[in-house]
Chain A
Amino acid sequence: MTTQTLSAERRVRRITFSHRLNRWDVKVSPYLYISPFFILFGLTGLFPLVYTAYVSMFDWHIIGGQGDFVGLGNFEWVLGQERFWQALGNTFSIFLLSAVPQVILAMIIAAVLDQNLRAKTFWRMGVLVPYVVAPVAVSLIFSNMFADQHGLINNTLTSIGLSPVGWHSETIPSHLAIATMVNFRWTGYNALILLAGMQAIPRDYYEAAMIDGAGRVRQFFSITIPSLRPTLIFVIITSTIGGLQIFDEPRMYDTYGEGGASSQWLTITMYIYIRAFGQSGGGQFGHAAAAAWILFLIIVVVGLINLLITRALVSSTSASKRSKS
Chain B
Amino acid sequence: MSTSRRTTAAAVAGIAAFAMIATGCASTPAGDDKEITLTVATFNNFGYTDELFAEYEDANPGIKIVHNKAATSNDARTNYFTKLGAGSGLADIEAVEIDWFAELLQFSDKLYDLSSDEVDGRWLDWKSEAATDADGRLIAYGTDIGPEAICYRADLFEAAGLPSDRDEVAELLTGDWDHYYSVGEKFTANSDAAWFDGAGAIMQGVLNQEEETLESRDGEVIATTNPVVKDAYDSVLAASEGLSAGLQQWTKDWEAGFASGAFATTLCPSWFLGNIEGMSPDVTTWDIANVFPNGGGNWGGSYLTVPDQGDHKEEAKALAAWLTDPEQQLKAFVKTGNFPSQVDLQTADELLAVTRPFFNDAPSGEIFADRAVAVTVAPYKGTKYFPVMNELQNALVRADVTKNMSPAESWDQFVKDVAALG
Interface residues of A (CB under 8 A from B): 1-2, 17, 20-21, 24, 28, 32, 36, 39-40, 43, 61-63, 65, 77, 81-83, 143-144, 147-151, 166, 168-170, 254-256, 258, 260-262, 264, 277-284
Nearest chain A residue, comparing its CB with the CB of B391: A280
B251-A170 in contact (CB<8A): no
B81-A32 in contact (CB<8A): no
A166-B402 in contact (CB<8A): yes
Contact residues of B between 55 and 69, Cβ < 8 Å to A? none
Assuming the A-B contacts A63-B107, A261-B397, A277-B78, are A32 and B11 also in contact, with contact meaning beta carbons closer than 8 angstroms in the complex? yes
- Picked from A24, A255, A278, the residue with its CB within 8 Å of the CB of B7 is A24
List, sorted by A's number, 19 A–B pairs whose CB atoms are closer than 8 Å: A1-B1, A2-B3, A21-B3, A32-B14, A63-B107, A147-B251, A149-B257, A150-B257, A150-B260, A166-B402, A168-B402, A169-B402, A169-B404, A170-B404, A254-B251, A261-B398, A262-B398, A280-B417, A281-B421
A-chain residues with CB within 8 Å of residue B260 when the two chains form the complex = 150
B-chain residues with CB within 8 Å of residue A40 when the two chains form the complex = 22
Q: How far is the CA of A304 from the CA of B14 in the complex (A)?
A: 38
B182, CB-defined interface residue at 8 Å: no
Q: How far is the CA of A237 from the CA of B271 in the complex (A)?
A: 49
B84, CB-defined interface residue at 8 Å: yes
A24-B11 in contact (CB<8A): no
B253-A148 in contact (CB<8A): yes
- Picked from A1, A151, A277, A280, the residue with its CB within 8 Å of the CB of B421 is A280
A143-B252 in contact (CB<8A): yes
A-chain residues with CB within 8 Å of residue B257 when the two chains form the complex = 149-150
B-chain residues with CB within 8 Å of residue A283 when the two chains form the complex = 81
Q: How far is the CA of A297 from the CA of B58 in the complex (A)?
A: 58
Q: What 1/0 flags go to B390-422 for Cβ under 8 Å of A?
A: 110111011001111100000001001100111
Q: How far is the CA of A82 from the CA of B72 in the complex (A)?
A: 28
* Number of residues from B at the complex interface, CB < 8 A: 50
B405-A279 in contact (CB<8A): no
Q: How far is the CA of A226 from the CA of B128 in the complex (A)?
A: 73
B3-A169 in contact (CB<8A): no
Nearest CB in chain A: distance from B344 CB, A: 35
B421-A255 in contact (CB<8A): no
B4-A62 in contact (CB<8A): no
B387-A282 in contact (CB<8A): yes
A169-B74 in contact (CB<8A): no
Q: How far is the CA of A20 from the CA of B420 in the complex (A)?
A: 65
A262-B403 in contact (CB<8A): no
B136, CB-defined interface residue at 8 Å: no
Nearest chain B residue, comparing its CB with the CB of A147: B252
B416-A82 in contact (CB<8A): yes
Of A143, A149, A254, the most chain B CB neighbours within 10 A belong to A149
B82, CB-defined interface residue at 8 Å: yes
Closest 9 CB pairs of A and B: A169-B402, A281-B421, A261-B397, A150-B256, A261-B394, A63-B85, A147-B252, A281-B387, A149-B253
B-chain residues with CB within 8 Å of residue A149 when the two chains form the complex = 247, 253, 256-257, 262
Nearest CB in chain A: distance from B258 CB, A: 11
A261-B256 in contact (CB<8A): no
A-chain residues with CB within 8 Å of residue B78 when the two chains form the complex = 277-279, 282
B110, CB-defined interface residue at 8 Å: yes
Q: How far is the CA of A43 from the CA of B394 in the complex (A)?
A: 39
B-chain residues with CB within 8 Å of residue A170 when the two chains form the complex = 402, 404
A-chain residues with CB within 8 Å of residue B422 when the two chains form the complex = 77, 281, 284
Q: How far is the CA of A15 from the CA of B11 in the complex (A)?
A: 23
Q: How far is the CA of A20 from the CA of B4 in the complex (A)?
A: 9
B331, CB-defined interface residue at 8 Å: no
B-chain residues with CB within 8 Å of residue A282 when the two chains form the complex = 78, 81, 387
B386, CB-defined interface residue at 8 Å: yes
B-chain residues with CB within 8 Å of residue A262 when the two chains form the complex = 394, 398, 402, 404-405, 413
Q: How far is the CA of A211 from the CA of B273 in the complex (A)?
A: 76
Q: How far is the CA of A1 from the CA of B3 in the complex (A)?
A: 11
Q: How far is the CA of A278 from the CA of B82 in the complex (A)?
A: 10
Q: How far is the CA of A282 from the CA of B247 in the complex (A)?
A: 26
B-chain residues with CB within 8 Å of residue A20 when the two chains form the complex = 3
Nearest chain A residue, comparing its CB with the CB of B384: A281
Contact residues of B between 360 and 412, Cβ < 8 Å to A? 384, 386-387, 390-391, 393-395, 397-398, 401-405
Assuming the A-B contacts A21-B7, A24-B4, A279-B387, are A63 and B402 also in contact, with contact meaning beta carbons closer than 8 angstroms in the complex? no
A-chain residues with CB within 8 Å of residue B356 when the two chains form the complex = none
- Picked from A36, A278, A284, the residue with its CB within 8 Å of the CB of B18 is A36
Assuming the A-B contacts A24-B4, A143-B252, A261-B397, are A279 and B85 also in contact, with contact meaning beta carbons closer than 8 angstroms in the complex? no
